[in-house]
Structure 1
Amino acid sequence: MSTPTPVPVTPETIRDVPKVLLHDHLDGGLRPGTVVELAEASGYRGLPTTDPAALGVWFREAADSGSLERYLETFAHTCGVMQDQDALVRVAAECAQDLAADGVVYAEVRYAPELFTEHGLDLPTIVETVQAGFREGERRAAADGRTVRIGTLLCAMRQNARASEIAELAVRYRDAGVVGFDIAGPEAGFPPTRTLDAFDYLRRENAHFTIHAGEAFGLPSIWEAIQHCGAERLGHGVRIIDDITVDGDGKAHLGPLASYVRDRRIPLEMCPSSNLQTGAATSIGEHPFGLLADLRFRVTVNTDNRLMSGCTVTSELAALVDAFGYGWADLRRFTINAMKSAFIGFDERLAIIDDVIKPAYAPLVGDWRASRPTAPAGRPAPR
């Protein structure tokens, strides 16, 4: 019997395997052509150009400043064209379609409802409209032969004072596809403890939440997010590397916070290309992802803002493969890390891991363990 030819790890083959995405901003993932068309329909006049190709380049270059604050300014244009229900449905539906086309089978997409109220929409209407758009996108993807499930994270902007209101909204709609809560926006000067009441409320309501921490600001933001606020995941978390030292022999020494994050298996929602743009890393090859993965932190691979970074989950994984020489077993590990860390039910997560992810990777890694073991009657299968 001949040995199967190994499948090379290329962007084309990576696109074909199932992927999981935990950190993707709805208003950071519009198609450039959609931005142009929505601007024309709504009368928005602020775009730097109405040529879709040139606009896509502009977003990437404007975001490539090395500053988180400058990076965030690009969202004035995307949010500016997302102020009515038709626009929100279209953007959400296209998001689901685009992720499905990239091989994503489960994604948690986040947005801040408070950013879409300029033309009079109220917060419940915004949430219901975006949810309708995601469901439409899932239906369109299914019609194209691809299955994707979108869970929603509602963000509060940390520089504003609406966190408790948005947290209550997340709980209100958690049976309608809203799976969790987040705070986003500039970290410096706006520590997560400013919104402690919101996190206390979410814990009382048994609701899930992640916190942007350790991107532009350092270890104190991570410590506050975990120890004061109780974050289940860290949005980015890349600055945890500041609590790790590597000696001349290449041996890594973890400080108390890094040890806690690793030991508690706190997921890191890492976004390599975005980190280069905001100055959290200087190159993919020097990105802390490599060391953190080697040290067995629960790293996950994410896009952050597909428009601003000109990226997909496939391109992010491919860049890591080029930089660190990862193979299929590594990509499977990162994918399962993400699915284990999702904010949906345990049975739902396990079904996607066992029925979708493992079977797809099994022929690529030659792993007999990818098939489900048979358990004795009345006992669960070992895991």
Structure 2
Amino acid sequence: MVTHNPQTLAAQTPPATSEQIRRAPKVLLHDHLDGGLRPETIIELADAVGYDALPERDPAKLGQWFRDAADSGSLERYLETFAHTCAVMQTREALIRVAADCAEDLARDGVVYAEVRYAPEQHLEQGLTLDEVVEAVNEGFRLGEQRARENGDRIRVGTLLTAMRHAARSREIAELANRYRDHGVVGFDIAGAEAGHPPTRHLDAFEYLAGENNHFTIHAGEAFGLPSIWEAIQCCGADRLGHGVRIIDDITVKDDGQVEFGRLAAYVRDKRIPLEMCPTSNLQTGAAASYADHPIGLLRRLHFRVTVNTDNRLMSGTSMSEEFQHLVDTFGYTLDDLQWFTVNAMKSAFIPFDERLAMINDVIKPGYAALKAEWLFA
């Protein structure tokens, strides 16, 4: 049993400023490629392929439509918005462009490392093969990384191949992820509506990946509760939890501030299982009522392996800087807190240990140190 202290852990320093947040190096582990398109890109790609079902033709209005449609409090309604983005991502040229835009946008926001996920099976309507989809997306990310460098930014992007939990292609996608694991793909994921589609339906894929010593994360504990988290960890062996906000259901804060952990919550914390938390998205899907009520505040104070992520930048109208800004505004987080989240994410990435360590020691810590030095000597 521990005591819950509602104060930020770094209360001796002031909250991070908007300028510091923008310039701080960031790490993103949970971002969907088909959830982060630029509205103007959607319109141009729709024109190119003859897709005439867009609800708006003006970029600003279209962006607002996506945010409004996603802000329903329902995960199922939230997922419906992807019909429009996937519809314009069915050609090699479109996939290259969307991936390149993604890398540029993230780098401009200060993201130095990102793992972006997508479901190859959702991009086959115009005749592409699964391999051609992966190769096009990889080409786009390399192009985006190059453009970022030319703009004075730096970013490294790895991809996670996602299987849809309501479909039956997870073993095939797992094999695809393993085939490209040294060519841009760093891991595997399953996504889609949790209710009625438990991760154990895809046990064959997870057992295959474990046998290949490959990495995978599982969307769990977002719209469905503790059983989804338990299955993802104990039955499927997930390395990370996509969202995982419902782990809060296994934690009790008493009136005197004492905290009691259920056995699952204690296991997740003890084993340092990373939680890929996406605050704004969680508010939209009803997983949390407000930023102040979001479990991330308590979980950070209790030293869970919490990371901060965007989920779907288009649908949530967000970025990593905006996610950090919401947390700073709500919890008074300082640069020390933001560095803690960022190092957590880099520790939890699906690239080799020495490469993670180099990013932490050569990029992240020096970046935050420089920002702190500016504040100290201002």
Tell me if TM exceeds 0.5.
Answer: yes
The match for 1:42 is 49
Q: Which amino acid aligns with 1:233?
A: R
How far residue 143 of structure 1 moved from its aligned partner, in angstroms, is 0.5
Q: Does 1:174 align with 2:143?
A: no
How far residue 360 of structure 1 moved from its aligned partner, in angstroms, is 1.1
Q: Does 1:265 align with 2:272?
A: yes
Q: Does 1:217 align with 2:221?
A: no
Q: Does 1:51 align with 2:58?
A: yes
Structure 1 segments of 4+ aligned residues over 4 angstroms from their partners: none
What is the correspondence of 1:287-302 to structure 2 with a 5 Å cutoff?
287-302=294-309
Looking at both structures, which has the greater relative contact order when contacts are Cα pairs under 8 Å and sequence separation is at least 6?
2
The match for 2:291 is 284
How far residue 364 of structure 1 moved from its aligned partner, in angstroms, is 3.8
What is the correspondence of 1:94-173 to structure 2 with a 5 Å cutoff?
94-173=101-180
Aligned counterparts of 1:353 and 1:307: Cα–Cα separation in 2: 28
| Alignment check: 8 A CA contact 2:229 2:241 kept | yes
Aligned counterparts of 1:15 and 1:70: Cα–Cα separation in 2: 31
- 1:311-365 Cα deviation digits (max 9, x unpaired): 0000000100111111011000000000000000000000000000111112444
The match for 2:242 is 235
What is the correspondence of 1:289-328 to structure 2 with a 5 Å cutoff?
289-328=296-335
Aligned counterparts of 2:263 and 2:372: Cα–Cα separation in 1: 35
How far residue 17 of structure 1 moved from its aligned partner, in angstroms, is 1.1
| Alignment check: 8 A CA contact 2:20 2:371 kept | no
Aligned counterparts of 1:365 and 1:233: Cα–Cα separation in 2: 30
Q: Does 1:353 align with 2:360?
A: yes
Q: Does 1:76 align with 2:97?
A: no
The two structures, once aligned, show a CA RMSD in angstroms of 1.2
SS of the aligned residue for 1:174 comes to coil
Q: Which amino acid aligns with 2:84?
A: H
How far residue 15 of structure 1 moved from its aligned partner, in angstroms, is 1.1
| Alignment check: 8 A CA contact 2:277 2:308 kept | yes
The match for 2:212 is 205
Q: Which amino acid aligns with 1:120?
A: G
How far residue 12 of structure 1 moved from its aligned partner, in angstroms, is 2.3
The match for 1:379 is none
How far residue 288 of structure 1 moved from its aligned partner, in angstroms, is 0.4
SS of the aligned residue for 1:176 comes to coil
| Alignment check: 8 A CA contact 2:24 2:371 kept | no
The two structures have a TM-score, normalised by structure 2, of 0.94
- 1:231-273 Cα deviation digits (max 9, x unpaired): 0000000000000011001221110000000000000000000
The match for 1:188 is 195
| Alignment check: 8 A CA contact 2:107 2:154 kept | yes
How far residue 27 of structure 1 moved from its aligned partner, in angstroms, is 0.1
| Alignment check: 8 A CA contact 2:279 2:294 kept | yes
Aligned counterparts of 1:235 and 1:23: Cα–Cα separation in 2: 7
For structure 2, which runs of at least 5 residues remain unmatched after alignment? 1-12, 374-378
Give the percent of matched residue pairs that are identical in Structure 1 and Structure 2. Answer: 72
Q: Which amino acid aligns with 2:34?
A: D
| Alignment check: 8 A CA contact 2:275 2:307 kept | yes
For structure 1, which runs of at least 5 residues remain unmatched after alignment? 367-383
The match for 1:19 is 26
The match for 1:374 is none
How far residue 46 of structure 1 moved from its aligned partner, in angstroms, is 1.1
The match for 1:372 is none
The two structures have a TM-score, normalised by structure 1, of 0.93
How far residue 88 of structure 1 moved from its aligned partner, in angstroms, is 0.3
Q: Which amino acid aligns with 1:323?
A: T
- 1:150-187 Cα deviation digits (max 9, x unpaired): 00000000000000000000000001010000000000
Q: Does 1:92 align with 2:99?
A: yes
- 1:58-117 Cα deviation digits (max 9, x unpaired): 000000000000000000000000010110000000000000000000000000000000
Q: Which amino acid aligns with 2:310?
A: T
Q: Which amino acid aligns with 2:77?
A: R
- Of the candidates 26, 30, 37, which is equivalent to residue 37 of structure 2? 30
